Amino acid sequence: MTAPLWTLTAAESRRRIAAGEITAQELLSAHLERIDAVEPRVHAFLARSAEAARRDAEAVDGSRARGELAPLAGAVLGVKDVIAGLDHPTTAASRILEGYVSPYEATSLRRARARGAVVVGKTNLDEFAMGSSSEHSAFGPTLNPWDLERVPGGSSSGSAAAVAAGMAQVALGTDTGGSIRQPASFCGTFGLKPTYGRVSRYGVVAFASSMDQVGPLGRSVEDVARLYEAIAGGDELDASSAAEPVEPWTGSDDVRGLAFAVPDEYVGAGVDPGVARVVREAARALLDAGAVERRVALPATEHALDAYYLVADAEASSNLGRYDGLRYGPRRAVDAPEAAAWISAYRGRSFGTEVKRRIMLGTHVLSAGYYDAYYLRAMRVRALIRRELLAALETVDFLLTPTSPVVAFRLGERVDDPLAMYAVDILSVTANLAGLPAMSVPAGLHQGLPVGVQLMGRPFQETLLFRAAEALSRRLPQPAAWEAGAVR
C-alpha cells in the first residue's frame, strides 16, 4: 500500500517532484486534507489560507516545468504566529494583537518562501512565546499528537504538533529558552535553535531580544538542515544578525573521532530516570559510531534557570511596553487626558496571566534599588555560564544532554504552578544564555511518549550538530505520531 503524501519528508517530496512523480499542488492538497481530518483534535493552527498556499504551490510547479527547482520546492511549512507574514494575521496568540496584519514579512519567512516553501498556516503558541505547554495561548491550547490529554510543549507548540501530526512537513519556530527544542522533544520531531544572530530576527515579535532566535523543526535531519540553510545568514534589517558564511550540510553522519560529553549537571536530580536511560542509549549509539566520550564539569548550570528568568522577564517588560491598544491590534483613538488610565485598563484585560506575571517581575528587577541585586547579578551569572560552556567545548566537540527533564506532562498538571512549569526549561536555557546552537533529536520512548536528546555545540557549528544528529537518527528508533500516537 502506497504511503499517503503527507507522510513524506520535505526532502523526499522534493525528490519526487524533481522526478515528475508528484506535483507541489498534489502534495499541498494531501496536507490540506490531513489538516481537515486532524486539526479539530490537535488545534495546531491559529490561521490558515488554502488559497495563498495553492498559489505558491502552483508557482513551484511552474518553476519545475521550466527546469528550475528551489531547495525547498513544495515543502509544506507551518509558521509560528510571532513571525510576521503578509497572508495571515500575526497575533502572538494574544488578545492584544487579535486581528493584527503586518504590513511587512519577516526575513526568515521571506527567505523560506523564496526557496520554494509553501506556507500552510500560522501555528499556535504560548502567548508572546512565554510558556512551556501552549496552555497560555489566548486562543486555547494545542494538544500533543501522541496523547491528546498531554501538552505538546512550548512555546512553539503548534509548529511541533503540526509537523508530528503530518499537517506540515517543516515549521518555523522561535526559541528563547527552549521553545523549539522542548516541543520538538515532547512531539518526537527534530528542532534546531541556531547560534544567536545566525537567523535574522527582523519581523519577529520580540520576547527577550538578546536570546530570541528563529529556527526550524522537521521530521528528519535533512529537512531541518535545508530549512536552516534557507533562512540563515546576515541581514541588513537586523543589526544583531551575523554575516558568518553558512556551511551547507553534506548529509554526512560521520562522527568518528568527535568528542562529546554528558555533563553530570544535566542528568542528575530532577531528571526522570526514563529520560536519563534514553540519553545513555544515545551516548552508546555515538560511541558505536566512532565518537569518543569525555567528562566536563559545568557547575554554574545550577544557577542558569534563575538567571534566565531574570534576564528574559526584564527584556520582556521592556519589549511589551509598546502594546498599548493604540498602535497594534484593535486600535482606537483616546483623548489625551484619559489615555494613561485607558491604556492601563486595556493592557490589564488583554494580556494573559502569564504575560502579566512576567511583565511585573521584569519591571521589578529593573527598578531602582533592585537592578544591581537582581538584573546585574543575573547578567554576571550569564557571562559565567557562557565562559564555562565555551571552555568545555574546547575539550569536546559537542555536549549530549536531555532536552527536557521529563516527557510531555498532562494538561493542567503544571499550569497553576509557575515554578513547576519553569523547571521544565532547566536543561535548555543555557544554550540561549550563551548564544550557542543546540538541537533536539528524537531518541526513543518512555511510557509510550517521545524523548528528545539535546546536542549543544560551538558558535556557528550547526553542521557538526547535523552530523551527530544524523548518526543518532540512523541508529535509534524514530517512531511517528501517526503510527504510534493518538492521531493515527
Got the DSSP string for 318-384?
HHGGG-SSSSSSS-----GGGHHHHHHHHHHHHS-HHHHHHHHHHHHHHSTTTIIIIIIHHHHHHHH
* Cα separation, 331 vs 245, whole angstroms: 42
Q: Is residue 297 part of a domain?
A: no
Q: Is residue 341 part of a domain?
A: no
- Measured between its terminal Cα atoms, the distance across the chain in Å is 16
Which pLDDT score, from 0 to 100, does residue 325 have? 81
Query: Which residue in the list 133, 157, 159, 179 is annotated as catalytic?
Result: 179
Query: Which residue in the list 108, 132, 133, 155 is annotated as catalytic?
Result: 155
Domain that holds residue 213: 5-260+394-484
Per-residue pLDDT of the chain (488 residues; tens, 9 = 90+): 689 999 999 999 999 999 999 999 999 999 999 999 999 999 999 999 899 999 999 999 999 999 999 999 999 999 999 999 998 999 999 999 998 999 999 999 999 999 999 999 999 999 999 999 999 999 999 999 999 999 999 999 999 999 999 999 999 999 999 999 999 999 999 999 999 999 999 999 999 999 999 999 999 999 999 999 999 999 999 999 999 999 999 999 999 999 999 999 999 889 999 999 999 999 999 999 999 999 999 999 999 999 999 999 999 999 999 998 887 766 677 777 778 888 888 899 999 999 999 999 999 999 998 999 999 999 999 999 999 999 999 999 999 999 999 999 999 999 999 999 999 999 999 999 999 999 999 999 999 999 999 999 999 999 999 999 999 999 999 999 999 999 98
Q: Is residue 309 part of a domain?
A: no
CATH number of the domain within which 435 lies: 3.90.1300.10
Evaluate if pTM is beyond 0.95: yes
Is 75:81 a contact under the CB 8 Å cutoff? no
- Does the annotation count 155 as an active-site position? yes
Q: Give, in order, the Cα–Cα distances in Å from 216 to each of 57, 190, 220, 226, 333.
A: 20, 8, 11, 9, 39
Number of domains in the chain: 1
- Does the annotation count 179 as an active-site position? yes
Q: Is residue 198 part of a domain?
A: yes
Which pLDDT score, from 0 to 100, does residue 338 have? 78
Which pLDDT score, from 0 to 100, does residue 344 have? 86
Q: Is residue 372 part of a domain?
A: no
- Does the annotation count 137 as an active-site position? no
Q: From 352, 315, 363, select the one nearest 126 (Cα to Cα).
A: 352
Q: From 479, 420, 474, 441, select the one nearest 132 (Cα to Cα).
A: 420
Q: Count of alpha carbons within 13 Å of 120, Cβ hemisphere only?
A: 32
DSSP state for residue 410 in the 8-state scheme? B
Q: Is residue 134 part of a domain?
A: yes
* Cα separation, 55 vs 83, whole angstroms: 20
Is 80:172 a contact under the CB 8 Å cutoff? yes
* Cα separation, 50 vs 15, whole angstroms: 24
Q: Is residue 175 part of a domain?
A: yes
**Axis crossing angle, helix 221-231 with helix 10-18, rounded to the nearest 10:** 80
Q: Is residue 26 part of a domain?
A: yes
- Torsion from C-alpha of 288, 184, 73, 18, nearest 10 degrees: 40
Which pLDDT score, from 0 to 100, does residue 367 have? 94
Dig out the grid coordinates for 480 from the structure.
511517528
Query: Which residue in the list 13, 80, 132, 156 is annotated as catalytic?
Result: 80
* Cα separation, 276 vs 299, whole angstroms: 19
Which pLDDT score, from 0 to 100, does residue 205 have? 98
